[in-house]
Homo-oligomer: A and B are copies of this chain.
């Protein structure tokens, strides 16, 4: 089907999956790493840094922006993108709660 049955799951499970989807492509990982690394927010430099075509990068940026993980500001002819610290923090929180679960299973379970 290609369509996730979101109605079967809690909101927490669905939003966590959405955040994870943002990281589920190396290009978006690379974009985010660049945005963290550079002091001035890079814009179209991403296109040259990463080897993908400009429309492809633009599309990935749009997804990250829709999720709220980054924000962009028009500055002349170019656009300045950077991490949205508040939403990044929220994402991190949810991700960590999930990853830090303790298993109730005994050592020799499997």
- Chain A, 1-31, CB within 8 A of any chain B CB: 4-6, 8-9, 13-14, 16-17, 20-30
Interchain CB contact (< 8 A) of A26 among B8, B24, B105: B8
Nearest-neighbour CB distance to chain B for A37, whole angstroms, equals 6
Contact in complex: A36, B81 (CB < 8 Å): no
Quick one: which of A37, A72, A99 has the most chain B CB within 10 A? A99
- Chain A, 85-110, CB within 8 A of any chain B CB: 85, 88, 91-92, 95-96, 98-106, 109-110
3 shortest interchain CB distances as A-B pairs: A20-B23, A9-B26, A21-B24
Residues of B with C-beta under 8 A to A88: 99
Given A24-B20, A40-B105, A73-B110, the answer on whether A29 and B13 have CB atoms closer than 8 Å is yes
